[in-house]
């Protein structure tokens, strides 16, 4: 089957940002999740936390580079009024202690029970864990954002991950270029499809069993 054209990275980031509710504190992982900070929903107060010890930053800075003011991906950032700095133990206390409402992480694979693999690439024989394992177990809600399939067209949403895990049963929601899928106690449930994509196409490109309700909404972007 021809793989349907999915969302761009920007549109995936925009869809993730819609999950943020007024008053939430959010941690955005490295890579695609970082893009989400450019699409924060208007009218909602969302506080961004970075695991290198920053609470309340604005977005990516295009001003003069200050090497002491960077996010976890090493990118320069701006500060908002009321921002604070802390050491890394306090920062991960926020994360592990359940004080972060939502973490957004990239993914390589996830399973039907919400296991996540996102740090080690077997084909390359390498990878680094950073703060991903702490975010996976510690955030109150974990959203994974990733392409629905690999570049070779292989499914990333599987019955069981074949890559080394980041965490077990930790994913609550996955946003891909094709769909939004909830991880529930009864398995994966399709919530939305991307414009121009059908539920059948999503199910065909998902290895794990996927429950498809009678009516599946199209993503509003």
Partner 1 sequence: MVARVYDTPAEALEGIEDGISLMIGGFVTAGLPTNLLEALFERGTRGITAITNALNSDTVLDRMCEAGRVDGLVATFAIRASSGKKSHFETLYRAGKVTLEMVPQGTFAERIRAGGAGIAGFLTRTGVGTPLAEGKLEMEVDGETYLLVRGLTADVAFIRAHRADTLGNLVYRRAARNFNPLMATAAGLVIAEVDEIVEPGAIEPEQVHTPAIFVDRMVQAPALPVSWDG
- By C-alpha distance, which of 109, 125, 96, 206 is closest to 165? 109
| Tokens 């994509």 -> residue | 197
Closest to partner 1 by CB, 145 or 219 = 145
Q: What are phi and psi of 77, to 5 degrees?
A: -130, 165
Is the Cα torsion angle 105, 107, 111, 117 positive or negative in sign? negative
- By C-alpha distance, which of 155, 194, 199 is closest to 178? 194
CB of 91 to partner 1, least distance (A): 8
Q: How far apart are CA 41 and CA 46, in angstroms?
A: 9
Distance of alpha carbon 60 from its chain centroid, rounded? 18
> In this chain, which stretch among 16-24, 150-158, 160-168, 189-197 interacts with partner 1, using CB under 8 A?
160-168
- Binding track, positions 125-144, relative to partner 1; x by CB under 8 A: xxxxxxxxxx--xx------
Q: Which of 63, 74, 81, 185 binds partner 1 (CB under 8 A)?
A: 74
152 is catalytic: no
SS3 of 163, please?
Answer: coil
CB of 129 to partner 1, least distance (A): 5
By the rule CB under 8 A, 168 interacts with partner 1: yes
By the rule CB under 8 A, 2 interacts with partner 1: no
Rule CB under 8 A: which residues touch partner 1? 50-54, 66-70, 72-75, 85-89, 91-92, 95-96, 115, 119-121, 124-134, 137-138, 164-168
Would you name the residues annotated as active-site residues?
51
């Amino acid at each position: 089957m021809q793989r349907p054209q999915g969302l761009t990275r920007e549109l995936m980031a925009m869809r993730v940002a819609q999950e943020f509710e007024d008053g939430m504190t959010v941690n955005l992982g490295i890579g695609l999740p970082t893009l989400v900070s450019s699409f924060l929903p208007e009218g909602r107060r969302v506080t961004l936390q970075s695991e290198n010890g920053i609470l309340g930053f604005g977005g990516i800075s295009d001003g003069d580079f200050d090497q002491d003011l960077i996010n976890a991906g090493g990118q320069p950032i701006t500060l908002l009024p009321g921002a604070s700095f802390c050491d890394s133990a306090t920062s991960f206390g926020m994360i592990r202690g359940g004080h972060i409402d939502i973490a957004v992480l990239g993914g390589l694979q996830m399973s039907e029970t919400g296991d996540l693999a996102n740090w080690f690439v077997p084909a390359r024989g390498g990878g680094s864990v950073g703060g991903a394992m702490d975010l996976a177990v510690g955030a109150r809600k974990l959203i994974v954002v990733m392409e629905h399939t690999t570049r070779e067209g292989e499914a990333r949403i599987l019955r069981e991950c074949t890559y080394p895990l980041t965490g077990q049963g930790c994913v609550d929601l996955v946003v891909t270029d094709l769909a939004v899928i909830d991880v529930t106690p009864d398995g994966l449930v399709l919530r939305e499809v991307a414009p121009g994509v059908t539920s059948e196409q999503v199910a065909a490109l998902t290895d794990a069993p996927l429950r498809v309700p009678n009516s599946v909404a199209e993503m509003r972007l």
